[in-house]
Amino acid sequence: MRTSLSAVLIVLVALLVPASAVAYWADRELGDADRYTAAMSPLARDPAVQNVVVTQGARALAGQIDAGPFQGSVDTLLGEALRSFVGTPAYRTAWDAANRAAHAAFFRALTTGHGDAVTIDLAPVLAQVKAELTGDGIPFADRIPVTHLSVKVMEYDDLGALREGFRMLQIAGVWLPLLTVVLALAAVAVAVRRRRAVLATGIGLAVGAVLLWIAVEVCRSLTLDDLPPDVDRPAAGAVYDALTSFLRTTAWLVLAIGLAAALAAWLTGRLRRTP
């Protein structure tokens, strides 16, 4: 019975590894503004994301300026200025500010907000862009009105259900990783042959890490396939990879720990058999 119980606990550990990682990620990574902003910050240098920012930004700014017969030339200048702007430290600062604002809006909607849409106010970003374009002498840039421009960044059919799911992940993010560690230790403690239990537990951790990696990749494929046709998929893929980088790192770390434990237990057994 002790051997069977140890085997059951090891199987539970393998299954709980991906669940624990996702719960911790949702609670500590997505739920923390600083960590979320830090994860998204490198995307300011991603070419696909920059291209989307330039395209959407030029379209939004052009709609704010009435240049009469010079509209086409002004729109071209705005596009060129924005493409130069996305390579500056000022753009990276504005990018971080926009992501922090998006996180605050999304988190507020998940916890205390109402409705099924998440919007952010891009007024601080527009002010920075206007200052840069005006300083570079771009014609009509001083006409860009810095108003409260609300942009819908996310919409769900049932945001209430998403709130409940996120709340459950927050709670699980505290105790689920701890439960996984306790079960791994218990699997070794109750086993009759503890060295073999350590080896099996290490393999279980490695299997759990592989399951986590597979889940991240499958969700990536499903997420990109469900995007509307007008969404830039390379940029969306870059955003997904940035948000899930913690899960990938966790998968490699747990895999290394599991294989190291299994290898150590196997080598110990080999050494004991050596005369």
Residue 177 lies in a domain: yes
For the entire predicted model, the pTM comes to 0.81
Residues 148 and 168 in one domain: no
Pick from 7-16, 77-86, 210-219: least confident: 77-86
Q: Sorting pLDDT into bands at 50, 70 and 90, what band is 248?
A: very high
Contact in structure between 54 and 86 (CB atoms under 8 Å): yes
Report the pLDDT averaged over residues 71-80: 76
Residue 106 lies in a domain: yes
The beta-carbon contacts of 246-252 under 8 Å, at least 24 apart in sequence, are 246/25, 246/29, 246/39, 247/21, 247/22, 247/25, 247/212, 247/216, 248/213, 248/216, 250/21, 250/24, 250/25, 250/209, 250/212, 251/21, 251/209, 251/210, 251/212, 251/213, 251/216, 252/209
Residue type, 74: V
The whole-number pLDDT of residue 120 equals 58
The whole-number pLDDT of residue 158 equals 59
Task: In whole angstroms, give the CA distance from residue 97 to residue 147.
Answer: 16
Residue 275 lies in a domain: no
Whole domain around residue 153: which residue ranges? 46-157
The SS3 of residue 63 is coil
Report the pLDDT averaged over residues 90-119: 74
Residues 185 and 124 in one domain: no
